[in-house]
Every structure is written in C-alpha cells, then in structure tokens.
C-alpha cells in the first residue's frame, strides 16, 4: 500500500453522518482513527488532526470482489496503480483482482509476484484470485494448495464459463480441500453463442443473441455441484431473474453467495439499439424483467452484494460495432453514484441496504473491512450525497474510458477514501482542509 510520510497516525473525522448497518450506527457523529484502526465513535471528539465532514456521509469502505486490473499483459488498459486509483476514487478500500490476464495467473510464482506488487503499487487492499484451470482452458486444474501458499485468495476462470460439469465438480472438490473459495462466472458457451441478450432488442437490431438459459443452465449446474461437494462457491454477476431465484433456492442447501453488478441493476438491453460496442458486456444487459428480478433479489438479501466487474478496454476494442467489440465496462468509479441515483433516489432500494451490499457483506466475504466497529481497520468512504456530476472521459481516473454511463449526470459523489487510516483519494482538501 502506498504510504505518505505525512500520513497522520491519528485523525478525528467530525460531524459526518455515519451509516454502518453492521454496527447499528446511523447519525451525525465523530470518529477517531488511531494507528490505522477505528478507535472511537461518539460525540464531541477532538484530536490533533481533524477533518470537518459536516454535510457528508461516512460509510465503511466499499469492497469490490470483481476487478480486472489487466496486470500482467494489458497495462495499456489498466494496471495496479491506475486500477487502484480508480477504485479509491469510487470509494473502494478493497478489491479482488481477476486472473484472466496475459499470461493467466495460474502459477504460484505469478501469485506471489502480484501480491508483492500490490503491496508496493496499490492504494487499496487488493487480493489476488488465481485461475481455477491452467490457462483458463477448463481442462487441467491449477495447483491450488501451492497457489494458496503463494497468497491466492480464491480461484476463478472469470471471463469464461466452465466447459464441463465434470471438470467443474473436480475443481470444486480440490478447491474445497485446499481451503479456497471458487468464484464463478456462470455461462454455458454452447448456448452463449451471440453478442447480446437474445430478445426483442437483439431481433430488432439484427444482432445474434445469447439466451438467458446460457447463464441459468450454468448457474443451476454450479449450485447443484456446490451443494454436493460442500465447496465455498461465489457466483458473480448474476443477471437474470431465474438465476437469482436459483441462488435463493440453494442458499440453505450449499455454501453459496452471489453478487450482481451496478450495470445489470441500472441498464437494460434497450441500449442494444445503439449498435455501439461500448454496450457489449458478459453476461449481456438484460430486459427490464430480469433487471427488476435481480434488483428484488438484492433488496431481499437473496443476492448478497454488489461487485462491479470493472473491465477496462482500450478504445480500439470498444469503439467498434457490437459484434466486433470486446465485452466489458468500467465499474469502480460510477458504482455508488449509479446505484444511488437509479435505485435509492427512486425509492427502490434503501441507502442502508446499498451500504450493506457495497460495504458490509462483501467485506465479510473477504474477511476484512466493511465495518466501522471499534478495532476494525480504518477503511472508510466519505460521500457527498447531494453532489451532481456528469461522467466524462475527463472525470475518469481509470486508464480506460469504457463506461456505459459516459454522458450521464449522476447524484452522489465519493469525496474521500481512507485505507488503514491513510487518505488514498482526497477531494475533501479543497473544501475542508485537515486542521493540524
Ligand atoms: O464483460 C466482461 N468482461 N465480462 C467478464 O466476465 C470479463 C470481462 C473482461 O475481462 O473484460
């Protein structure tokens, strides 16, 4: 983690509206951060260094379990420095990095190398996912015990579904014995042969579609195997109402958690009519019925949390017709604002539930962060819920600019992010300064 020599060992943040559903905090209070941890929450706190945060909301730092920082291999699109700066700008204090890089992170030496680079180059806490299969090829399992020793947090072939149920079952058994969670992108490639969701919008646009069953069949298989093997399984980017319902059915029958993305919660396949490759993503944007089903599942706790699937791509891979474009959206910097604008301000999701799904629940899944209880790491996010801002290439800190929200005016902006008591993103300075 980047350290600044001038970083305060103690900081009192005064008069923010603190909201931490996990600790039952909801009101205007002060918080003291000492030696990288939360040391006191209360009223009338003072210290040698104070930040006046009146009018701002303070949440436990957001945690994003699904990030593609493109290191190694595509540092022209993102790297640990730029990815972690984008994460910090979005209020994220922790992420999990996906292994679909070039080369794939499938050997212990690559994991230990990345862990060391993260320590030096990342502004936020970043965990490394290793591949489930060598080369993500869905054939040979990786050496999971050695990968874990090298520092891998979980295993995943994200970006690709798993070709065969038999191979996936073995992978779950091995990961379970190695003590590693399996992080799954559920897509059956024999069904997912198109480039957008197979629905009315695809037909009108004349584009080849992938049916919802491509995700649903793979999700059902994964859940059945999770129940049978006992593996700890996380299903990422759930995008259909049926897959969400399947997760609900298996919640009590398997050690399973699931997330969905800000884009599947706020955008639909209407965008297919633009024919623009910018809007291509896997799994594809779905019709509003699926979007609503996923939203309801998140509201009800069937889906555990939100993860962005932050997937930077160079403009020459995105400014193309839909059929030729690379799938994926930037996610870190717009996640909170998109969800706050489209779900909270419209009354469809409470702010409390949004914080649970961006901070508490993913923090619990990674085992650190997502809480403002006394003694917890001082990882927190300061947000101005009234600030309106327009997403533009010039506002984005990521090295890429493939945001599906480009041009959208959103409400709610992260103004400060603190990791281990140290500021890693700071837009408060201009307005408040830190009184030393
Ligand atoms: O759209 C996507 N892009 N979905 C994924 O699962 C992977 C990601 C990427 O790596 O670009």
Domains of the chain: 6-58+377-435 (2.30.40.10), 61-366 (3.20.20.140)
pLDDT reported for residue 315: 97
Q: Which residue has the CA at smallest separation from atom 5 of ligand 1? A: 159
Query: Which of 92, 88, 112, 110 lies closest to 101, judged by CA?
Result: 110
Closest atom, ligand 1, to C-alpha of 313: 11
Taking CB atoms and a 6 Å cutoff, what residues make up the pocket around ligand 1? 68, 100, 158-159, 185, 281-282, 309, 311, 327-328
309 catalytic per annotation: yes
157, 198, 309, 384: which is the annotated catalytic residue? 309
pLDDT by residue, tens only, the chain of 436 residues = 334 444 558 999 999 999 999 999 999 999 999 999 999 999 999 999 999 999 999 999 999 999 999 999 999 999 999 999 999 999 999 999 999 999 999 999 999 999 999 999 999 999 999 999 999 999 999 999 999 999 999 999 999 988 789 999 999 999 999 999 999 999 999 999 999 999 999 999 999 999 999 999 999 999 999 999 999 999 999 999 999 999 999 999 999 999 999 999 999 999 999 999 999 999 999 999 999 999 999 999 999 999 999 999 999 999 999 999 999 999 999 999 999 999 999 999 999 999 999 999 999 999 999 999 999 999 999 999 999 999 999 999 999 999 999 999 999 999 999 999 999 999 876 444 554 4
Best mutation site among 97, 277, 281 for ligand 1, i.e. most ligand atoms within 8 A of its Cβ?
281
Best mutation site among 69, 309, 398 for ligand 1, i.e. most ligand atoms within 8 A of its Cβ?
309
pLDDT reported for residue 429: 67
| CA pair distance 329, 140, nearest whole angstrom | 29
pLDDT reported for residue 436: 43
Residue 10 · residue 422 · CB < 8 Å: no
Closest atom, ligand 1, to C-alpha of 328: 1
Ligand 1 mean position, distance from CA 328 (Å): 5
Element (H, E) at 72: none
Q: Which residue has the CA at smallest separation from atom 3 of ligand 1? A: 328
Best mutation site among 158, 185, 236, 237 for ligand 1, i.e. most ligand atoms within 8 A of its Cβ?
158
* Angle made by CA atoms 71, 422, 130, in degrees to the nearest 5: 25
| CA pair distance 202, 272, nearest whole angstrom | 7
pLDDT reported for residue 292: 98
Ligand 1 mean position, distance from CA 311 (Å): 6
Ligand 1 mean position, distance from CA 324 (Å): 14
- For helices 108-121 and 80-89, give the axis angle rounded to 10 degrees: 60
Ligand 1 mean position, distance from CA 409 (Å): 25
pLDDT reported for residue 433: 52
Q: Cβ-count burial of 352 within 10 angstroms (0-12 exposed, 13-18 middle, 19+ buried)?
A: middle
The gap between the terminal CA atoms of the chain, to the nearest Å, is 24
Query: Which of 184, 175, 188 lies closest to 142, judged by CA?
Result: 175
Ligand 1 mean position, distance from CA 23 (Å): 34
Long-range contacts of 320-323 (CB under 8 A, 24+ apart): 320/277, 321/275, 321/277, 322/195, 322/196, 322/205, 322/207, 322/272, 322/275, 322/276, 322/277, 322/279, 322/280, 323/195, 323/207, 323/208
| CA pair distance 281, 322, nearest whole angstrom | 10
pTM given for the model: 0.96
| CA pair distance 394, 84, nearest whole angstrom | 17
- For helices 213-229 and 241-250, give the axis angle rounded to 10 degrees: 10
CA pseudo-torsion sign 157, 162, 165, 166: negative
| CA pair distance 251, 311, nearest whole angstrom | 28
pLDDT reported for residue 434: 54
Q: Which residue has the CA at smallest separation from atom 6 of ligand 1? A: 159
| CA pair distance 297, 114, nearest whole angstrom | 35
Residue 397 · residue 94 · CB < 8 Å: no
Residue 374 · residue 237 · CB < 8 Å: no
Residue 275 · residue 323 · CB < 8 Å: no
């Amino acid at each position: 983690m980047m350290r600044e020599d001038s970083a305060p060992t103690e900081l009192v943040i005064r008069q923010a509206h603190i909201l931490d559903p996990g600790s039952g905090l909801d009101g205007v209070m002060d918080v003291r951060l000492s030696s990288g941890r939360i040391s006191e929450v209360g009223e009338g706190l003072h210290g040698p260094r104070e930040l006046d945060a009146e009018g701002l909301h303070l949440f436990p730092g957001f945690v994003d379990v699904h990030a593609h920082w493109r290191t190694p291999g595509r540092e022209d699109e993102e790297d640990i420095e730029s990815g972690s700066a984008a994460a910090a700008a979005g209020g994220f204090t922790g992420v999990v990095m996906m292994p679909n890089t070039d080369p794939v992170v499938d050997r212990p030496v690559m994991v230990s190398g990345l862990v060391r680079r993260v320590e030096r180059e990342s502004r936020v806490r970043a965990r490394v996912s290793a591949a489930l299969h060598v080369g993500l090829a869905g054939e040979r399992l990786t050496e999971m015990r050695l990968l874990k020793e090298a520092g891998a947090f979980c295993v995943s072939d994200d970006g690709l579904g798993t070709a065969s149920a038999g191979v996936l079952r073995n992978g779950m058994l091995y990961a379970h014995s190695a003590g590693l969670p399996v992080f799954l992108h559920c897509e059956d490639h024999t069904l997912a042969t198109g480039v957008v969701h197979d629905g009315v919008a695809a037909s009108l646009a004349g584009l080849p579609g992938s049916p919802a069953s491509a995700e649903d069949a793979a999700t059902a298989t994964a859940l059945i195997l999770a129940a049978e093997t006992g593996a700890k399984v996380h299903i990422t980017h759930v995008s259909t109402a049926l897959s969400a319902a399947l997760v609900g059915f298996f919640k009590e029958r398997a050690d399973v958690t699931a997330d969905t993305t800000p884009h599947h919660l706020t955008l639909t396949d209407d965008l297919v009519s633009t024919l623009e490759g910018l809007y291509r993503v896997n799994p594809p944007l779905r019709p509003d019925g699926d979007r609503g089903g996923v939203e309801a599942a998140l509201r009800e706790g069937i889906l555990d949390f939100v993860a962005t699937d932050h997937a930077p791509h160079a403009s020459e891979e995105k400014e193309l017709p839909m059929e030729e474009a690379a799938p994926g959206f930037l996610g870190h910097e717009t996640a909170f604002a998109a969800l706050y604008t489209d779900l909270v301000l419209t009354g469809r999701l409470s702010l409390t539930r949004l914080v649970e799904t961006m901070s508490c629940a993913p923090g619990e899944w990674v085992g650190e962060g997502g809480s403002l209880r006394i003694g917890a790491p001082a990882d927190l996010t300061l947000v101005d819920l009234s600030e309106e801002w327009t997403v533009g290439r010039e506002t984005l800190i990521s090295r890429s600019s493939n945001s599906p929200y480009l041009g959208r005016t959103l409400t709610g902006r992260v103004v400060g992010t603190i990791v281990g008591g140290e500021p890693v993103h700071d837009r408060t300075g201009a307005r408040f300064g830190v009184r030393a």
